[in-house]
Amino acid sequence: MRYNLKHKIMVIKVCVGSSCHLKGSYDVIEQMKYILKKYDVEDLVDLQAAFCLGFCSQGVTVKVEDTPNVEKMPDGELFLHNVNKDNAEEIFAKEVYPLLNL
């Protein structure tokens, strides 16, 4: 039997509440899957869908939790707004990837 020694070190929650759903949550999730694979971090990041995160007027909202980089994310959570399939990679590269401390 083989064991996977890698474990998830971050959670990314994409809001799929009704407002975010209408603004393209599904596309954001699909794009996130592609990005996590491209950056070779799909084994480290748990990508989830979430119910309304409380920022319905700010476009599709994504919440990042459980990062190993506590200095850059002292509150333990980070909210990203107005995420869409076209800007998701830029936002990931700038805001999220550095939090992985790789």
> What are the residues binding ligand FES (CB under 6 A)?
15, 17-20, 52-56, 61
86 alpha carbon, distance to own chain's centre: 15
Closest distance between ligand FES and the C-beta of residue 38, in Å? 25
Cβ nearer to ligand FES, comparing 54 with 76: 54
Q: The tokens 């920022």 sit on which residue?
A: 55
Please say which residue, 21 or 89, places its beta carbon nearer to ligand FES.
21
Q: For the chain, where are the E strands, in sequence order?
A: 10-15, 45-50, 62-65, 77-80
Question: Taking the complex as a whole, how short is the minimal distance between the CB of residue 79 and ligand FES, in angstroms?
Answer: 9
